[in-house]
Amino acid sequence: MQRCQILLSSIERVKNFVRLVNQYPGQISIVSGPYVVDAKSIMGIFSLNLNEPVTVEMRDDVPAELMERLAPFSICENNPDQQA
């Protein structure tokens, strides 16, 4: 599983993020505190506190190139090898 923290601080960023992750197959989740939502669901994302960074979790079946494309949203170093 790969993880990275992102900041979705505006409606436009949320829309762009959802548009991006929907281009990829596989399970992608967003974790915010005790809550886990489908990263492909704009309604799910808007149910979270977006004033704070959230964590994107991608299963192994998600293409590695997605990590590179998430760089504009990322608040952590872009490290495609970062795994947990």
Domain boundaries, the chain: 2-73
User: How many angstroms separate the CA atoms of 62 and 74, rounded?
Assistant: 17
Taking all residues of the chain, what is their mean pLDDT, rounded to a whole number? Answer: 87
At 8-49, the pLDDT tens digits run 999 999 999 999 999 998 899 999 999 999 999 999 999 999
Binned at pLDDT 50, 70 and 90, residue 61 comes out as confident
The per-residue pLDDT for 53 is 95
**60: its two tokens:** 């192994």
The per-residue pLDDT for 83 is 39
Q: Are 39 and 68 a contacting pair, CB within 8 Å?
A: no
Which SS3 state, helix, strand or coil, does residue 8 take? Answer: coil
Q: CB-based contacts of 43: which residues, under 8 Å, 6+ apart?
A: none
- pTM (predicted TM-score): 0.83
Domain 2-73 carries which CATH code?
Answer: 3.30.1340.10
User: How many angstroms separate the CA atoms of 59 and 49, rounded?
Assistant: 23
